[in-house]
A and B are shown apart, each in its own frame.
Chain A
């Protein structure tokens, strides 16, 4: 190809760069860059209704780090299909709410294990501590949806009573793990 000849692509790029050079100065580039940086950092400050804040009445928003529990500071109380649902603070596995069940019900075709392990989670809405029973639903292959790893109070597996890696299907008709539910046991005083 003759290096002197210009293809359509060359002409298009030339035009583009000449236009850019004509229209933008270094200063305006910097100004725009700054505007973008500022806008993207300031946008989350706009009063847009976001699910994580929806539970709190407007004007009563408290600083982020208000609970001793790191999990509770980022938790919400209305969407059990997300890992930051407040009851999942110590749940490790696939969440039944994403598997055809609910946060405290097993999907059809699975059975709740008679055994569970009990943890405590802070409800970010009222700031109180509740006891939550993590009960596995068993009898079908792994659900595979909503893998969540909450590790509050979790201990290594040499403390099996308080370890969340262990499949808690003990006593169920099948030891095949499907998903984990998080039922409310009660309110801690």
Chain B
């Protein structure tokens, strides 16, 4: 076989080689790689702190809207410094379970009880009543079956809290007007 033929075959073999390496990107710039947070974490040896189960349930089911600090957009009712007020009366305690996004959540009764207790203790400990007893799975299981008119029920609970002098005024739990986009 002539040298020319051999060279040609080698060339086409190389072309074949380049084609058969899926997703191989030879121009991978070192700068781009060094900006990746995972690479930075790996090089610095930093470790991400593990989250408790309740914190995980909150992150996966609530945090998107309510925020990692318990408050976010104007449109979302803040939890921080407020939600504990509801636990001061039986009606409010029921309301926190019967709010549709809690009652209809796919999580188990145990997980709902755990995340409610975690939210109350984490974001609103100061507003809790002195004799607060944590939610139990059995209590959640029974309460979450009810379907409420959430706006009317919330207004009713807030009125009740005001008349029982559990909050200074309805302002303490007021929601802002939702802005038009």
Q: In the docked arrangement, what's the CA distance between A120 and B60, Å?
A: 8
Specify which chain A residues have a CB less than 8 angstroms from the CB of B49 in the assembled complex. 186-187
CB distance from B107 to the nearest CB of A (A): 12
Neighbouring B residues of A41 by C-beta, 8 Å? 20
Q: Is A184 an interface residue (CB 8 A)?
A: yes
Contacts A117-B64, A161-B101, A188-B56 given: A78-B75 contact, CB under 8 Å?
no
* From B23, B28, B36, B61, contact of A80 by CB (8 A): B36
* 0/1 interface trace, chain A 134-174, chain B, CB 8 Å (1 if under): 00000000000000000000000000010000001011100
A79 → B minimal CB distance (Å):
7
Contact A81/B24 with A39-B13, A114-B72, A186-B50 known, Cβ cut-off 8 Å: no
Stretch in contact with the other chain, from A2-10, A45-53, A56-64, A65-73: A45-53
Interface residues of A, CB < 8 Å — how many? 45
Q: How distant is the Cα of A77 from the Cα of B56 in the complex, in angstroms?
A: 22
Contact: B56 with A79, CB < 8 Å?
A: no
The one of B13, B28, B59 in contact with A79, judged by C-beta atoms closer than 8 angstroms, is B28
Chain B 21-52 interface mask (CB, 8 Å, partner A; 1/0): 11111001000110111110010000111111
Nearest residue, chain B, Cβ from A105: B37
Q: In whole angstroms, what is the CA distance A125 to B181 when docked?
A: 42
Check A115 against B76 for contact (C-beta < 8 Å): yes
Residues facing B in A4-58 (CB within 8 A) are 36, 39-41, 43-44, 48, 50-52
Q: Which of A113, A115, A125 has the most CB of B within 10 A?
A: A115
The reply to whether the CB of A103 lies closer than 8 angstroms to some CB of chain B is yes
Q: Report yes or no: B33 in contact with A78, Cβ–Cβ below 8 A.
A: yes
Alpha-carbon gap, A48 to B19, bound state (A): 14
A44:B64 contact, CB within 8 angstroms: no
Q: How far is the CB of A166 from chain B (nearest CB, A)?
A: 11
Which residues of the partner chain B approach A171 to less than 8 Å between Cβ atoms? Answer: 72-76
Q: Which of A74-109 contact B (CB under 8 A)?
A: 77-82, 86, 102-104
| CB pair B50 A187 closer than 8 Å | yes
Contact A130 B28 (CB under 8 A): no
CB distance from A188 to the nearest CB of B (A): 5
Which residue of B has the minimal Cβ distance to A103?
B37
Q: Is the CB of B64 within 8 A of A161?
A: yes
CA–CA, A168 and B20, complex, Å? 39
**12 further contact pairs, Cβ within 8 A, besides A102-B37, A116-B64, A171-B75:** A50-B24, A77-B38, A79-B28, A80-B36, A104-B37, A161-B101, A170-B73, A171-B74, A172-B73, A184-B48, A185-B63, A186-B50
Q: Which residues of B contact A (CB under 8 A)?
A: 13, 16-17, 19-25, 28, 32-33, 35-39, 42, 47-53, 55-56, 59-61, 63-65, 67-68, 72-76, 101, 181
A-B contact pairs, 8 of them (CB 8 A): A43-B16, A43-B17, A78-B39, A79-B28, A102-B35, A115-B67, A117-B64, A187-B48
